[in-house]
Amino acid sequence: MISWSKIGSLFAVLLIGWSAAISTDVALAAGQATRGEPTPSEIRRLLYVGNSFYYYNNSLHGHVNRMIAAVMPKEKREDYQSYSVTISGGHLKWHDVGAYLDAGIGSSSFNENNEVVTSTGPLRFNAVMMMDCSRCPYDEASRPVFHEQVKIKADAIRKRGVTPMLFMTWAYSDKPEMIEVLAREYLKAGRDNSMAVVPAGLAFQRALAGRPSLVLHVPDRRHPSLSGTYLAACTVLAAVYGIDPRNNRYTAGLAFEEAAYLQQVAWETVQDARP
């Protein structure tokens, strides 16, 4: 199992650029992409790019949105918008992320009466959070393609003035050792491309280490259960938006005690990685 001290030292390199208190030179040396990219608290419009790990359980972004709604007044939370583009079993190379950003995603939405309305605000995304297929960084044969595609996608995203970031996936329930390679490769891709990494996979590892009886996967051993999706949502809330998930009243229908544990695990996973 990866030690948390080692994780902290590696992952801090990626997240140090999110601290407003450090100098520009230190931030650039630590892996910040470019001066002026948004910090977590500045991200309002987020595009999720991935596969079924996102869309299970009525979509990860929907749960994150409900957690945001639970802690913000309506007039403020309307500034926060997210959209999810997924392909079943999707590899990162299947996604034309540049085309997504050029397509005007978000130009319309549904109001409270389920009527389609045209958006009046800007359509520009602040950030794109992308993942590869669950085995792509893990399998030796596909690993070079993973790193190649991360660079291609990151360059395309930055060319459009948007911040790229990565979403670290989790190990299969019957192959917990996968997280060793997944964490290593996602962190390497983050360092190599000056991108932050959302440590969902490490949150899964930590949650199961503390409570081995937790069921974070469905019977296929890969996809997330509702608890797994909720844990990932708590991690996104903390890592991307800088919002503490603890005591959030939205629990996705989980028992309060379980939701509270998952909130705590997500918060600790992200905080342990910060400098």
Q: For the chain, what are the domain ranges?
A: 4-109+116-273
Dump pLDDT digits (tens) for 248-262: 999 999 999 999 999
Helix (H, G, I), strand (E, B) or coil at 145: helix
Can you tell me the distance from the alpha carbon of 67 to that of 174, in angstroms, rounded to the nearest whole number? 30
Dump pLDDT digits (tens) for 74-100: 888 878 999 999 999 999 999 999 999
Can you tell me the distance from the alpha carbon of 174 to that of 98, in angstroms, rounded to the nearest whole number? 36
Quote the pTM value: 0.86
Burial class (CB in 10 A: 0-12, 13-18, 19+), 64: buried
Spatial CA neighbour of 37 closest among 151, 130, 165: 165
Pairing of strands 127-130, 45-50: parallel
Pairing of strands 116-118, 163-167: unpaired
Helix runs in the chain, H state only: 4-15, 24-30, 52-55, 60-71, 74-77, 97-102, 143-159, 178-192, 200-210, 226-241, 256-273
Burial class (CB in 10 A: 0-12, 13-18, 19+), 202: buried
Neighbours of 63 (CB within 10 A): 22
Among 61-65, 111-115, 150-154, whose mean pLDDT is lowest?
Answer: 111-115
The answer to whether 76 touches 121, Cβ cutoff 8 Å, is no
Task: Summarize the confidence of residues 61-71 as an average pLDDT.
Answer: 97
- For domain 4-109+116-273, the CATH superfamily is SGNH hydrolase (3.40.50.1110)
Dump pLDDT digits (tens) for 158-179: 999 999 999 999 999 999 999 9
Q: Which residues contact 77 (CB under 8 A, 6 or more apart)?
A: 68, 69
